[in-house]
Chains A and B, each alone.
Chain A
Amino acid sequence: MSREVDQVNQERRRFMGVAAGAVAGTAGGAGVVVAALSSGVSSDAAAAPRTEPVSDRHRWGMLIDTAKCVDGCTACVDACDEENGLNLQAEPLGDDEAKWQNQRSAWIRKVKVQDNASGVVTNLPLMCQHCEHPPCVNVCPTGASFKRADGIVMVDRHICIGCRYCIMACPYKARSFIHEQVVQKLTRAPRGLGCVESCNLCVHRIDDGNPSPACADACAAEGHHAILFGDLNDPSGPLRQALGAQPNRQIRENLELNTGVRYAGL
């Protein structure tokens, strides 16, 4: 039943996506300004640490307005690095710099795409898309890669064996592997040799009752407001309002993964 509805929605989105693509070059910047864009906090999320297990009452997601994403700005990436201890990774002694940059764990990548026909260049941050049907979860042999009840796709590193099937399965190149022993770690972001990891929407913040990822905060602090975080299940919430007000699409929507991260102006 829900699958059918999904398919209908996919059709609609595909149409909308094409329409959005046609206007992206000319009217991309004239997106509707949503009043609640900076808030991003669901109204019923209490600012207190969680005492009940997460449920599917919320499904966390994001809307990224690529028209507002600035070329050369790495505020979201830097904030993510700091929040999740990624800047504490040390380059192995004697390692090639290019190899290290390729191997070091990164949860967000800034991607620049160009439409060759029109020459339109689009900047966007690409991270784990928190799919409803995540391929990384499908392929995981131990069940370490899992989707939490509130839609966050995560790795249980206690049972991850580091096989990296999920890295191969992910269409978004969102996952990283920790190749070296990690000396410096943050309490909120454990990290160790031989495990896979990816964006978890700053899950520790969500659990603490402060659902607002570091990247969205940093983007807003820069004044760009390109990343809007919110609850996909809350029809009156800021995220759903923004999704309804602006043409947006999933990346690789043809895979029908129903991603939690949506892009406008793409």
Chain B
Amino acid sequence: MTHFHPKLRAPVAIAPLVLLGLLCLGLAAAAQATGVGDFVVDSSRAAKLDHCVEPTEYMRRYHYELIRHQRDTTVYGGIRSTKHSLAGCVKCHVGYDAQHKPVAVNAKHQFCNACHSYAAVTVNCFDCHATVPKGESWNQVTAGDREALLPGVHPQVGAAAPAAPGAAPESRDQ
């Protein structure tokens, strides 16, 4: 049995190196993970915010579930004021060009397209839905400070007051 001894010892000596290697790989993967999907367009409103309506990791994985749930809530229940509306996504994530004109959110290298082309997942929301904020109804972004307005989220002290009811028809004229 003794002749196995040196060979057994070798892996034990290598173990820390292997662990270190795995750690490096893990770090590299983590670095890559933050790179992939980190496509918030600089000129968009979202770029100025700390996080989305939910934690970023959650949004990356489950945004479709949220939008789909909201869609039925809106179509059947008439609730447009909650924070998971597609109109809110577009309003916040749409980028602007040099002339301050909004660029379609599903255009190449824009917010939706950047990830969806990488993941090769076709998104068909915009077959029907507007790709730039135009003629919006009420949504959590247009109404002003989203923190103060989301149902279930307590308004922060000193946060901007909700838009006056009279502001709704105004936003319609855009």
Contact = CB atoms under 8 A, between A and B. Distances in A.
A245 interface: no
Contacts of B134: 185-187
Contacts of B80: 49-50, 204, 207-208
A126 B77 CA distance: 26
A209 interface: yes
Interface string B116-143: 0000000000011111011111110001
Interface stretch (B25-33, B43-51, B165-173): B165-173
Mostly helix, strand, loop or mixed at chain A's interface?
loop
Given A188-B137, A192-B128, A208 B79 contact: no
B135 A206 contact: no
Interface residues of A, number: 37
Contact of A51 (B74, B76, B90, B151): B151
B71 interface: yes
B99 to A, nearest CB: 18
Nearest to B128: A192
A156 B78 contact: no
Interface string A39-63: 0000000011111111000000000
A51 B79 contact: yes
Nearest to A52: B79
A150 B78 CA distance: 10
B20 to A, nearest CB: 51
Instruction: Count chain B CB atoms within 10 A of each CB in A206, A207, A209 and give the residue with the most.
Output: A207
Contacts of B74: 207
Given A209-B165, A209-B168, A187 B135 contact: yes
A186 B130 contact: yes
Mostly helix, strand, loop or mixed at chain B's interface?
loop
Given A54-B77, A209-B165, A185 B129 contact: yes
A191 B128 contact: yes
B81 A50 contact: yes
B112 interface: no
A158 interface: yes
Interface string A145-166: 0101010001011100000000
Contacts of A158: 71, 75
Given A50-B81, A209-B165, A188 B136 contact: yes
A88 to B, nearest CB: 9
A83 B73 CA distance: 22
A182 B127 CA distance: 8
Nearest to A144: B75
Given A49-B143, A188-B135, A203 B78 contact: yes
B136 A187 contact: yes
Interface of A: 47-54, 83, 85, 146, 148, 150, 154, 156-158, 181-182, 185-193, 195, 203-210
8 contacts: A49-B168, A186-B135, A187-B90, A187-B91, A187-B133, A187-B136, A193-B127, A207-B80
Interface of B: 71, 73-82, 87, 90-91, 127-131, 133-139, 143, 151, 165-166, 168-169, 172
